C-alpha cells in the first residue's frame, strides 16, 4: 500500500491551533495585552472597533522587536521567554508557548509595527492568514503596535458564531479588567469605536480599582492582608452591604495571574456567611502569592483554572483572614426587614425540624394528591411529572463539589418532604414497575441501564433538562400550563432594567404558569407559579433567566421562547450529586424517552451514550 500520511501544511496547523487559543475577540485582547506586559511596557493602549470584530489594536512602549524577531514572532513555538523545559518552573512572564501570534495571524489580517530602542528604524509587517504580504522599514517609536483586523475572516463558521457587539465587548472589558487590576503600576487606555472607555494612570491597587469601577467603590473596600508560610494574601473585599445578585466583581489573582477557583470562592463566601443576603455574592479583589512550585496552572492558554498542593490550608487561611478583616472594620450582621422569611433559612436548617408556615402554604396546594393515587397510567402526563419530580428532591443531599446546599435548597427539600409524605408510595409502589428493567446510579451523576445491545449511560442532569425543556416549550407555545396559586404573594426587588426584561417576556412566563400581580419599577410580585417549581426556587430561576437573556440578546419570537425554556429547564433540572431511587431513575428514563429528542440536551450536549456488548467482548480478548 502506498504511504498515506502527510504532514499538515503550517498554515493549516496554525489555523487548527488558533481555534484553541482564539475563541473570540476578547482572547486576542488578552494575548496582546499580556505580550505588551511581558515586553515591559509602562504604557499600553487598547483600541477596539465593532467589539473587536473589525479591529483589536494594542500599542505599547515596551522593548520592541528586532527586524528578524518581528518576522519570527509569527512562527509557531516562537518565543523569547523560555529556551528549555526547566525554564517553565521559573517563569515570570505571561506567555511562553509562542503560539498566540502564530494563531492570531492564521485567522486574521495582522499588521505589526515595532522598534527596539537601539535600532534606528522600525519594522512593519503585514500578514494575512499566515502569509507575509509585506515587510518594510518604517519610522516608529520604541515599542510595538499590533493591529488585528477582521478576525476569523477565513473561518466564516467561527465568525458567525460570535455574539452581539454588546456581549463581545463585555468579554473584552472582562479581560481588560483582569489585566489592569493585576498591573496598577502600568498605565492603560482603552478606546472603543473612537471614544475613551478607560483612562487609567499608573497608581496603586486601591486607586486602580476606583479608576476602573468608579469613585463610589472607594468607600466599599475593606483591605485584606495576611502573610503565612505558605501564602501571602493582599487586596480588598467589598463590604457585605454591597454584595450583589449574580456573579461579577470577583477577582482572584494567583501570583498576579487571574484565575478562577470555585473552591477559594467558597472560602470567601463562607467568611461572609451571616453578613450577606442569601443568593448574593460579595465582590473581592484578592491577590494570593504562593510558591510557584506548589501550584499547577493548567498551561492551556485559555484556561484559568489552577490546582493548589495545600488546598485545604489555603481555604482555612483565606476564610479566617477575610473574617478577621471584616471584623476589624466592625462590619456586623445586617438586619433586613424586607426579607422573605423563607429566604432567611440559615445554613444549619437541616438540623432543625420542619416548621409550620411552609407546610400551611403547601397544604393549600396539593393538586397531585388525588391524581397520584390513581396510579401512573391514569394521571395526565404533565401533572404526574410535577408530582413525581417534586418527590425527587425529598431529603436528598446535594453533595456536588465542596459547596454546601444553600438555605433555599434546604428549605425546598423540607417543604417537599411534607408533600411527599402524602404522595409518594402511591406514586411509585406500582407493581407493574417491579418487572422490567433495572437501573443503577453511578456517582450520583449517571443512570446506567442494560439494553438489548449492551449498556446505556444517561446523564441525569442533562436528561432532566431535556424533559423540562420540552415541557416548558410546549407550555409556552401551546399555552396550557397549570399554575399553583400562592397563599401569600411572593414579593421581591430586582434592578429596574431586570424588571423591564421580565416585562418583555411576561406573556411567555405566564404560559409556563407564572401569574404576576405586579411588575413595575423594581418590584416583582408573583401570585402564581408553575406547578413543577418550588416557591423557594422562583427568585433564583428568574434571576438566572434574566442573566441568560442579557447574555444572549435574542430576537423576539421563537428564539426567545427557546431561550426561556432552556434557561428555566437548566435551573430547575435535577443536579449532578443527587441520588435517585430506583423509581425516580426509571421515571426519569421513561420521561426522557417520551421526549421528541431524547439524545440531546437543549444545549446540544449528548444526554446519553450506549455501549455495545461487542465492545466489551473486545476488551476481554
d(CA 399, CA 416): 18
Q: Using an 8 Å Cβ cutoff, are 539 and 343 in contact?
A: yes
Residue 253 φ/ψ, nearest 5 degrees: -125, 125
d(CA 198, CA 163): 23
**Which residue is it, cell 484578592?**
286
Q: Which is nearer to ligand ADP, 64 or 282 (CB)?
A: 64
From residue 31 to residue 60, the character string flagging contacts with ligand ADP as x (rule: CB under 6 A) and all else as - is x---xx-xx--------------------x
* Least separation in angstroms between CB 9 and Mg ion: 24
How many C-beta atoms surround the C-beta of residue 340 within 10 A? 15
d(CA 128, CA 110): 6
Contact between 97 and ligand ADP (CB under 6 A)? yes
Contact between 470 and ligand ADP (CB under 6 A)? no
Binding residue (CB under 6 A) for ligand ADP from 15, 123, 144, 255: 144
Contact between 62 and ligand ADP (CB under 6 A)? yes
Of the candidates 522, 545, 23, the one whose C-alpha atom is nearest the C-alpha of residue 246 is 545
Residue 508 φ/ψ, nearest 5 degrees: -60, -40
Contact between 80 and ligand ADP (CB under 6 A)? yes
d(CA 597, CA 587): 17
* Least separation in angstroms between CB 171 and ligand ADP: 19
Contacts (Cβ under 8 Å, ≥6 apart) of 523? 491, 493, 499
Q: Which is nearer to ligand ADP, 79 or 147 (CB)?
A: 79
Q: Which is nearer to ligand ADP, 22 or 490 (CB)?
A: 22
d(CA 67, CA 71): 7
Q: Which does 45 bind (CB under 5 to 8 A by kind): Mg ion, ligand ADP, none?
A: none
The residue range among 27-35, 135-143, 376-384, 488-496 that interacts with Mg ion, by the rule CB under 5 A, is: 27-35
The residue number with the shortest CB distance to Mg ion is 95
Contacts (Cβ under 8 Å, ≥6 apart) of 155? 15, 107
To the nearest 10°, report the CA torsion of 270, 273, 277, 281: -20
DSSP letters spanning 20-41: HH-SSHHHHHHHHHHHHHHTT-
Residues 99-118 that bind Mg ion (CB under 5 A): 100
Q: How distant, in Å, are the alpha carbons of 30, 146, 277, 435 from that of 269? A: 28, 40, 11, 48
Of the candidates 420, 431, 409, 414, the one whose C-alpha atom is nearest the C-alpha of residue 368 is 420
Q: Which does 198 bind (CB under 5 to 8 A by kind): ligand ADP, Mg ion, none?
A: none
The residue number with the shortest CB distance to ligand ADP is 95
From residue 556 to residue 595, the character string flagging contacts with ligand ADP as x (rule: CB under 6 A) and all else as - is ----------------------------------------
* Least separation in angstroms between CB 42 and ligand ADP: 13
The residue range among 28-36, 207-215, 265-273, 523-531 that interacts with Mg ion, by the rule CB under 5 A, is: 28-36
Binding residue (CB under 5 A) for Mg ion from 14, 35, 406, 449: 35
Q: Which is nearer to ligand ADP, 98 or 598 (CB)?
A: 98
Q: Which does 18 bind (CB under 5 to 8 A by kind): ligand ADP, Mg ion, none?
A: none
* Least separation in angstroms between CB 37 and ligand ADP: 9
In the complex, the residues that contact Mg ion under the rule CB under 5 A are 35, 95, 100
* Contacts with ligand ADP, residue ranges (CB under 6 A): 31, 35-36, 38-39, 60, 62-65, 73, 78-81, 95-102, 144
Amino acid at each position: 500500500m502506498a504511504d498515506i500520511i502527510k504532514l499538515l501544511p503550517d498554515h493549516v496547523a496554525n489555523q487548527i491551533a488558533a481555534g484553541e487559543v482564539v475563541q473570540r475577540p476578547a482572547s486576542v485582547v488578552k494575548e496582546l495585552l499580556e505580550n505588551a506586559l511581558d515586553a515591559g511596557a509602562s504604557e499600553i493602549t487598547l483600541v477596539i472597533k465593532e467589539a473587536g470584530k473589525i479591529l483589536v489594536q494594542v500599542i505599547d512602549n515596551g522593548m520592541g522587536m528586532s527586524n528578524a524577531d518581528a518576522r519570527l514572532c509569527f512562527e509557531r513555538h516562537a518565543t523569547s521567554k523560555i529556551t528549555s523545559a526547566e525554564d517553565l518552573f521559573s517563569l515570570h512572564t505571561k506567555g511562553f508557548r509562542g503560539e498566540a501570534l502564530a494563531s492570531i495571524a492564521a485567522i486574521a489580517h495582522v499588521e505589526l509595527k515595532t522598534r527596539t530602542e537601539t535600532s534606528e528604524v522600525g519594522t512593519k509587517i503585514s500578514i494575512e492568514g499566515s502569509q507575509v504580504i509585506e515587510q518594510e522599514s518604517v519610522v516608529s517609536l520604541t515599542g510595538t503596535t499590533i493591529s488585528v483586523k477582521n478576525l476569523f475572516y477565513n473561518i466564516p463558521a467561527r465568525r458567525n458564531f460570535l455574539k452581539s457587539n454588546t456581549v463581545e465587548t463585555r468579554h473584552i472589558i472582562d479581560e481588560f479588567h483582569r489585566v489592569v487590576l493585576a498591573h496598577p503600576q502600568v498605565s492603560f487606555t482603552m478606546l472603543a469605536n473612537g471614544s475613551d472607555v478607560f483612562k487609567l494612570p499608573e497608581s496603586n491597587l486601591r486607586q486602580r480599582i476606583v479608576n476602573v469601577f468608579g469613585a463610589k467603590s472607594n468607600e466599599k473596600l475593606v483591605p485584606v492582608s495576611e502573610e503565612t508560610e505558605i501564602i501571602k494574601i493582599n487586596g480588598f473585599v467589598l463590604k457585605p452591604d454591597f454584595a450583589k445578585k449574580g456573579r461579577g466583581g470577583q477577582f482572584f489573582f494567583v501570583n498576579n495571574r487571574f484565575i478562577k477557583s470555585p473552591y477559594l470562592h467558597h472560602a470567601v463566601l463562607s467568611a461572609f456567611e451571616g453578613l450577606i443576603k442569601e443568593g448574593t455574592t460579595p465582590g473581592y479583589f484578592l491577590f494570593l502569592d504562593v510558591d510557584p512550585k506548589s501550584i499547577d496552572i493548567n498551561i492551556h492558554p485559555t484556561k484559568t483554572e489552577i490546582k493548589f498542593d495545600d488546598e485545604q490550608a489555603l481555604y482555612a487561611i483565606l476564610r479566617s483572614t477575610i473574617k478577621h478583616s471584616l471584623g476589624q472594620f466592625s462590619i456586623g450582621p445586617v438586619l433586613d426587614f424586607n426579607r422573605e422569611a423563607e429566604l432567611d433559612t440559615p445554613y444549619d436548617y437541616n438540623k432543625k425540624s420542619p416548621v409550620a408556615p411552609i407546610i400551611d402554604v403547601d397544604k393549600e396546594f396539593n393538586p397531585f394528591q388525588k391524581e397520584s393515587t390513581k396510579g401512573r397510567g391514569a394521571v395526565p402526563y404533565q401533572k404526574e411529572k410535577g408530582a413525581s419530580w417534586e418527590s425527587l428532591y425529598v431529603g436528598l443531599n446535594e453533595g456536588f463539589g465542596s459547596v454546601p446546599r444553600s438555605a433555599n435548597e434546604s428549605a425546598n427539600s423540607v417543604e417537599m418532604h411534607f408533600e411527599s409524605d402524602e404522595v409518594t408510595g402511591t406514586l411509585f409502589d406500582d407493581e407493574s414497575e417491579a418487572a422490567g428493567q433495572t437501573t443503577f446510579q453511578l456517582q450520583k451523576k449517571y443512570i446506567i441501564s442494560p439494553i438489548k445491545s449492551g449498556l446505556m449511560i444517561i446523564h441525569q442532569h442533562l436528561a432532566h433538562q431535556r424533559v423540562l425543556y420540552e415541557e416548558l416549550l410546549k407550555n409556552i407555545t401551546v399555552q396550557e400550563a397549570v399554575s399553583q396559586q400562592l397563599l401569600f404573594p411572593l414579593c421581591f426587588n430586582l434592578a429596574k432594567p431586570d424588571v423591564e426584561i421580565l416585562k418583555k417576556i411576561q406573556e411567555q412566563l405566564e404560559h409556563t404558569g407564572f401569574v404576576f400581580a405586579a411588575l413595575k419599577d423594581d418590584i416583582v410580585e408573583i401570585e402564581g407559579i408553575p406547578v413543577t417549581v418550588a416557591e423557594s426556587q422562583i427568585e433564583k430561576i428568574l434571576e438566572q433567566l434574566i442573566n441568560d437573556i442579557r447574555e444572549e440578546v435574542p430576537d423576539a419570537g421563537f428564539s426567545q421562547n427557546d431561550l426561556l425554556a432552556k434557561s428555566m429547564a437548566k435551573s430547575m433540572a435535577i443536579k449532578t450529586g443527587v441520588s435517585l431511587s430506583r423509581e425516580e431513575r426509571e421515571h426519569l428514563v421513561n420521561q426522557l424517552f417520551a421526549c421528541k429528542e431524547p439524545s440531546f440536551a437543549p444545549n446540544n450536549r449528548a444526554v446519553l451514550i450506549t455501549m455495545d456488548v461487542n465492545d466489551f467482548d473486545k476488551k476481554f480478548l
